[in-house]
């Protein structure tokens, strides 16, 4: 792994407006750099800013966020949407698969919003991703025909469909039972390692913590949290 950082955040802040012109500050981050190809796990109590941080990497509202040497904050809204589709993959707790589409079709759908994979290669690329995630025999199955663990693996394949250098994952296995969660996480981490993805993962799962290059507690990263702890 090289020393180059794939993601750099500086002075990133987020506050939600309240009545009377006041704001509720939930995130105040001075600096965070993610080395290219690394796995960083964020952990912390509920409300500590973990999910907010993931959202701001993709759609910053204040400060500077550089992903693959591009200042995301400086892009127009249209260019930002295109940049996210091509450079950032998302995996969340909810699978958000389209029920009328097969596993293969759900993955291929993600490629419609980017030019990362040539159209004539999209089916083969999607098939290969699903096979690597253990779903070679489930390509034609619709979500209702898949287990929850299989559905999340389809969602992971969809996040990786455009070969993004950065993958963001917010408690991706929180809705799975412990055994299935460990299996899915292990596959997810292995694929990201093999493809040298930079992964920023919110998780309290021991498998994720053990497989990470770095584990960061939000109480140390978020200055808003630090101020709460000092009062």
The per-residue DSSP string of 18-63 comes to: -GGG-EEEEEEEEEEEEETT-EEEEE-STTSSHHHHHHHHHS-SSS
15 DSSP 8-state letter? E
Q: Which residues contact 134 (CB under 8 A, 6 or more apart)?
A: 153, 187
Per-residue model confidence as pLDDT tens for the chain (231 residues) = 345 788 999 999 888 877 776 778 888 999 999 999 999 999 988 888 899 999 888 776 778 999 988 998 888 888 988 899 899 999 988 899 999 999 999 999 999 888 889 999 999 999 999 999 999 999 999 999 999 999 999 999 999 999 999 999 999 988 899 899 999 999 999 999 999 999 999 988 887 788 899 999 998 988 887 666 654
Compute CA 96 distance to the chain's CA centroid, rounded to the nearest angstrom.
14
Determine contact, residues 204/44, Cβ cutoff 8 Å. no
Smallest CA-to-CA distance from 197 within 91, 109, 111, 43 is with 91
Burial annotation 162-200 (CB, 10 A radius, 16+ → b, else e): bbbbbbbbbbbbebbeeebbbbbbebbbebbeeeebbbb
Domain boundaries, the chain: 5-230
How far is Cα 4 from Cα 35, in angstroms, rounded to an integer? 6
CB 11 within 8 A of CB 62: yes
Element (H, E) at 127: helix 122-132
Q: Does domain 5-230 have CATH number 3.30.450.40?
A: no
């Amino acid at each position: 792994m090289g020393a180059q950082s794939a993601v750099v955040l500086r002075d990133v802040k987020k506050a939600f407006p309240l009545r009377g012109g006041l704001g509720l500050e939930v995130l105040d981050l001075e600096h965070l750099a993610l080395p290219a190809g690394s796995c960083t796990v964020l952990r912390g109590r509920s409300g500590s800013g973990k999910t907010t941080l993931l959202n701001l990497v993709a759609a910053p509202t204040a400060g500077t966020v550089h992903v693959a040497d591009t200042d995301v904050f400086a892009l127009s809204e249209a260019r930002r949407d295109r940049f996210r589709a091509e450079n950032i993959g998302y995996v969340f707790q909810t699978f958000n698969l389209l029920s009328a589409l097969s596993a293969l079709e759900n993955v291929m759908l993600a490629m419609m919003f980017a030019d990362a994979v040539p159209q004539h290669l999209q089916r083969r690329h999607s098939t290969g991703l699903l096979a690597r995630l253990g779903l070679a025999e489930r390509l034609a199955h619709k979500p209702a025909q898949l287990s929850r663990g299989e559905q999340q693996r389809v969602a992971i394949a969809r996040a990786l469909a455009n070969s993004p250098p950065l993958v963001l994952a917010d408690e991706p296995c929180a809705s799975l039972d412990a055994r299935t969660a460990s299996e899915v996480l292990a596959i997810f981490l292995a694929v990201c390692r093999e493809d040298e993805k930079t992964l920023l993962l919110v998780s309290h799962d021991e498998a994720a913590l053990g497989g990470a290059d770095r584990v960061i507690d939000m109480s140390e990263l978020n200055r808003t949290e630090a101020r709460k702890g000092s009062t």
